[in-house]
Structure 1
């Protein structure tokens, strides 16, 4: 387990640092967009972007996960290349067709379903973005399959958000508001795709693809990937159907407020994503060698660190929810309760760790499909019931309950099949540090008449110091030291 943990820690630290930078830049972009456009216009953009993102999940045909599962096992480079080209060709074809369909139905969606004619033009402009999102996800799959995520992270988390910010601000001051934001998304994403094509696809020869043997491989990849199409779609419904239903039942302003709450409340997802990025290919190899004990050890360490990081961010959110939301404008303050509820859902997700990847990469993708269908249906039902009554808080509660159920089922299935779970006595230290530090900060905050910048810095400093002292009082495990060492080395190199 030691070598795998070192490899995952080093690679994940790249993703970890990249995700932190990307999330920070993403927050800056959303801060500018929300403040400059206002909750209503920002909400319209986010509603359309959610629709486009939802469609793009189906257009990649689950092949991003198929690439991750098959490329690490394939020793023949020509066969690996043929799988990659097949995935891109199939996704490009189907996403182009769907783009044309969305263009044709844009007016019906805007006027009849969402009751907002202003959304029509945004839908027209953003429909082709389906193709770009599908391609980006496939490139991510290729980099992950080769355990070479650095270049993708640099582009995805540094280059793309930086250019979005610069282009949007420039265009905004030239008089372009929401159209400036759309152009910023297109230019930055197209430049990134150009880079990925040059670095990955330039040396792959298409004439070697359609052999009889390769076609047989394509069928095998599709057989594996097909259930993952619905899994991706259902997972999106679990996490994003609330945005679509707020647009249907409420209005664009509520969509804008809730979108900001979701973006902040799910900030901590980068921790689990960072580990999952490199853990998925490792699972495939370990399981094929029947090294279940190794999988359990990695599962325990990754889940504990994911939970630890999420608890720290969750503490900050529950302590300063109103102060955080008002940064985006006074009209966003009403989303502070929804923010806390969304953060609780993310905390539940982190406490289960990479259970879904373990199920998928050990040959049971259908388990994930069934779980996703059940929880997606539950989420829709809860949203339909709660949003008309409780507004955006109802949407947050619906998502929280759906996420909790989904993760509980995944955890039970992993234990039932492999007899492993991620929990041990080390988790007591994590929870104890969280409870004591959070209570201390909330008590100190309530003693102030108001929280200014200096008080905020002081409270955050007290929180981090107390958390570290309480967590480390009983000693730090060798796995903790290994991950910390890899992360610190990577940060120093930056």
Structure 2
């Protein structure tokens, strides 16, 4: 648990810096610098690129986490594992190019009616997929070495800083929109380049292959696992991006842009989950390989309570400041409030169930992840198709929330049946009651002063009252240990 705690703290700090940068770009710059159509284009390109990237990985991003321990040997250059990390996804990228050119007319026809700007910038998907692909696989290799921080810095700080600079350049007319889009795509290519520089400086840029290390049994295991992780990951990405993809066709890029900003605000709640998720898969994979199921169960429970505590605080803060937030955004984003709350509630539920998906994917039952996710894809597509035409962006949010809820129920039941594990402790109820009380009290207080003064006072007060309650009720051993360490340093 020590390495999870340490790197989770580092990742949380980095991600919160990223939140600050993301707040500047997403709340202030994107809505005021780009039109909703133009911002919707960037989100749609990213969502489609993520789908293409998933099968282009050829499963290598998940294979790195699960199988690196079998190759790990620095003196022997990790037995050529990094060579596989580079070559296997390149074959997948070639496959992507074939699909891209073969089905381009069909894809463009799907968006030609309400998303003409996407049709114009469709070729930008090729370099965008390449950059995302190699950042994902190289970052998985780096994370497999128990180094999750470099990828966090690049993804959360460097990329968002570059985005802010590009938006400022576009604001002052130093870039045309076309030039902005070229630079936007190049920023994603920069990410894997920086990781390669990191490995070089660490003396671990091992490019020499060692084919004789992989015997037939290991090759089959890696291949089977890779295949199911491709399909499972593809299904998961469809669920997470189908709202943006279908909004672009059914409702247009402008509504896609509005929804994307609302989705971003709601998704801020998941920051602690992302921080833990950068290191915990590596640890769980090792514990499962060692058949240390007691430790896996311990991590499962710990991940639930320690994700809910900060997640609930952020959710309270967003809900309590929703009126202020909508006052900051341009008038055309006024309908984003309901989407923010629905997505926020769904993300909080997703945090409360802990790392259920990580355990399944790294266990011998990883095939179930594919089966359950395919079922979820069907539900997600159907609900989006039915609800978007009726409720617009709120319908997309409802469809996403329903999908997340069903998916986690299925995974939770499976883990209980197979491993007799469940993530909840009675202390979860304490967090729920405390959160409800703090939220109710905050909503009863009228705005104090200007928007920004009210945000500061309201948020600070909520944080102090909530954190005090968490510590006094001893909800989490980890939180209380961190508080004890802080008191020692201060006093």
Question: What TM-score do the two structures reach when normalised by structure 2?
Answer: 0.91
Closer/same/farther in 2, CA of residues 281 and 212 from structure 1, 3 Å limit: closer
Q: Shift in Å at residue 412 of structure 1?
A: 1.1
5 Å matches for 1:76-475?
76-77=73-74, 78=76, 80-99=78-97, 101-102=99-100, 105-106=103-104, 108-115=106-113, 116-200=115-199, 206-211=207-212, 213=214, 217-445=218-446, 448=447, 452-475=451-474
Which residue does 2:7 correspond to in 1? 11
Q: Shift in Å at residue 205 of structure 1?
A: 5.3
Q: Shift in Å at residue 477 of structure 1?
A: 4.7
Asked if the contact 1:99–1:130 (Cα under 8 Å) also holds between the matched residues in 2, the reply is no
CA distance in 2, matches of 1:248, 1:184: 26
Moved over 6 A (4+): none
CA distance in 1, matches of 2:102, 2:483: 52
Asked if the contact 1:111–1:117 (Cα under 8 Å) also holds between the matched residues in 2, the reply is no
Which residue does 1:23 correspond to in 2? 19
Asked if the contact 1:63–1:87 (Cα under 8 Å) also holds between the matched residues in 2, the reply is yes
Q: Shift in Å at residue 392 of structure 1?
A: 0.8
CA distance in 1, matches of 2:393, 2:47: 16
Deviations 1:250-280 (A, max 9, x none): 1111100001111111112221121122211
CA distance in 2, matches of 1:305, 1:122: 42
Which residue does 1:57 correspond to in 2? 54
Deviations 1:356-413 (A, max 9, x none): 0011122221111111101111010111111111111111111100100001111111
Q: Shift in Å at residue 323 of structure 1?
A: 2.7
Asked if the contact 1:230–1:369 (Cα under 8 Å) also holds between the matched residues in 2, the reply is yes
Q: Shift in Å at residue 426 of structure 1?
A: 1.8
Deviations 1:325-355 (A, max 9, x none): 4433211111111111111110110110100
Secondary structure of residue in 1 paired with 2:211: coil
CA distance in 2, matches of 1:208, 1:252: 45
Q: 1:45 aligns with which of 42, 45, 59?
A: 42
Asked if the contact 1:103–1:124 (Cα under 8 Å) also holds between the matched residues in 2, the reply is no
Asked if the contact 2:270–2:347 (Cα under 8 Å) also holds between the matched residues in 1, the reply is yes
Q: Shift in Å at residue 420 of structure 1?
A: 1.6
Gaps of 5+ in 2: none
Residues paired across the two proteins, number:
484
CA distance in 2, matches of 1:177, 1:259: 23
Asked if the contact 1:271–1:309 (Cα under 8 Å) also holds between the matched residues in 2, the reply is yes
Asked if the contact 1:96–1:131 (Cα under 8 Å) also holds between the matched residues in 2, the reply is no
CA distance in 1, matches of 2:210, 2:139: 21
Deviations 1:71-119 (A, max 9, x none): 1243444474523322321212321442464356546533443413322
Question: What TM-score do the two structures reach when normalised by structure 1?
Answer: 0.91
Deviations 1:145-186 (A, max 9, x none): 100122222222222221222133224423535324423333
CA distance in 2, matches of 1:135, 1:331: 37
Between 1:157-166 and 1:175-184, the stretch displaced more is 175-184
Between 1:186-195 and 1:74-83, the stretch displaced more is 74-83
Gaps of 5+ in 1: none
Deviations 1:179-207 (A, max 9, x none): 24423333333333222223337755555
CA distance in 2, matches of 1:233, 1:329: 35
Deviations 1:20-74 (A, max 9, x none): 1123222322231221112122112222221112111111122111100011243
Q: CA RMSD in A?
A: 2.6
Q: Shift in Å at residue 415 of structure 1?
A: 1.3
Asked if the contact 2:320–2:443 (Cα under 8 Å) also holds between the matched residues in 1, the reply is yes
Closer/same/farther in 2, CA of residues 145 and 207 from structure 1, 3 Å limit: closer
Secondary structure of residue in 2 paired with 1:267: helix
Q: Shift in Å at residue 451 of structure 1?
A: 6.0
5 Å matches for 1:471-482?
471-475=470-474, 477-482=476-481
Q: Shift in Å at residue 218 of structure 1?
A: 4.0
CA distance in 2, matches of 1:81, 1:323: 55
